[in-house]
Amino acid sequence: MADIASIISRQRQFYYLGHTRDISFRLNQLKILQRAVIEKENQILEALYADLKKSPYEAYLTEAGLVREEIRFYIKHLAKWARPRRVKTPFYHLPSSSYIYPEPYGVVLIISPWNYPYQLAFTPLVAAIAAGNCAVIKPSEFSAHTSEVLAGIVKSCFDPGFVSVVTGGVETSSALLKEKFDSIFFTGSTNVGKIVMSAASNHLTPVTLELGGKSPCIVESDADIKLAAKRIVSGKFINAGQTCIAPDYILVKQSVKDELIAGIKNYIELFFGKDPKNSKEYPRIISRNHFDRLVRLTQGASVVCGGDFDPSQLYFAPTLLTDVDWTHPVMQEEIFGPILPVIEYNWLTDAILTIKEHPKPLALYVFTGNSDTAEMVLKQISFGGGCVNDTLVHFANPYIPFGGVGASGMGSYHGKPGFDAFTHYKGVMKSSFLMDFPFRYPPFFRHVNLLKKVIR
Ligand code: NAD
Q: What spacing in Å lies between the alpha carbon of 271 and ligand 1's midpoint?
A: 29
Cα of first residue to Cα of last residue in the chain, in angstroms, is 62
pLDDT in tens, 126-147: 999 999 999 999 999 999 999 9
CA separation for the pair 414, 225 (Å, rounded): 31
CA separation for the pair 75, 399 (Å, rounded): 15
Position 305 pLDDT exceeds 90: yes
129 in Cβ contact with 153 (< 8 Å):
no
* Amino acid sitting at position 60: Y
Q: What spacing in Å lies between the alpha carbon of 187 and ligand 1's midpoint?
A: 6
Spell out the alpha helix ranges (H) of 247-287: 257-272
Ligand 1 atom 40 nearest Cα: 210
Please list the residues that pair with 302 across neighbouring strands: 322
**Is position 141 annotated as part of the catalytic site?**
no
DSSP summary character for residue 360: P
Spell out the alpha helix ranges (H) of 142-287: 144-157, 170-178, 190-201, 225-237, 257-272
Q: Is 59 exposed, middle or buried (0-12, 13-18, 19+ CB in 10 A)?
A: buried
Ligand 1 atom 31 nearest Cα: 189
Q: What spacing in Å lies between the alpha carbon of 211 and ligand 1's midpoint?
A: 8
State the pLDDT confidence band at 224, using cuts at 50, 70 and 90.
very high
**Domains delineated in the chain:** 4-211+409-428 (3.40.605.10), 216-403 (3.40.309.10)
SS3 100: strand
Q: What spacing in Å lies between the alpha carbon of 212 and ligand 1's midpoint?
A: 9
**Is position 217 annotated as part of the catalytic site?**
no
Quick one: which atom of ligand 1 is closest to the CA of 244?
A: 34
Q: What spacing in Å lies between the alpha carbon of 378 and ligand 1's midpoint?
A: 28
How is the chain split among helix, strand and coil, in percent rounded to 5? 50, 20, 35
Ligand 1 atom 10 nearest Cα: 140
Q: Ligand 1, residues 62, 63, 136, 140: which to mutate, most atoms within 8 A of Cβ? A: 140
pLDDT in tens, 373-416: 999 999 999 999 999 999 999 999 999 999 999 999 999 999 99
Looking at residue 65, what is its pLDDT? Answer: 97
Q: What is the mean pLDDT of the chain?
A: 96
Residue 135 phi/psi, 5-degree rounding, is -140, 140
Q: What is the pTM of this model?
A: 0.96
CA separation for the pair 364, 405 (Å, rounded): 12
Which is the catalytic residue, given 134, 244, 305, 387? 244
Looking at residue 445, what is its pLDDT? Answer: 79
Is any atom of ligand 1 closer than 6 Å to the C-beta of 138? Answer: yes
Pairing, β 85-87 against β 385-388:
unpaired
Peptide bond into 442 cis (omega under 30): no
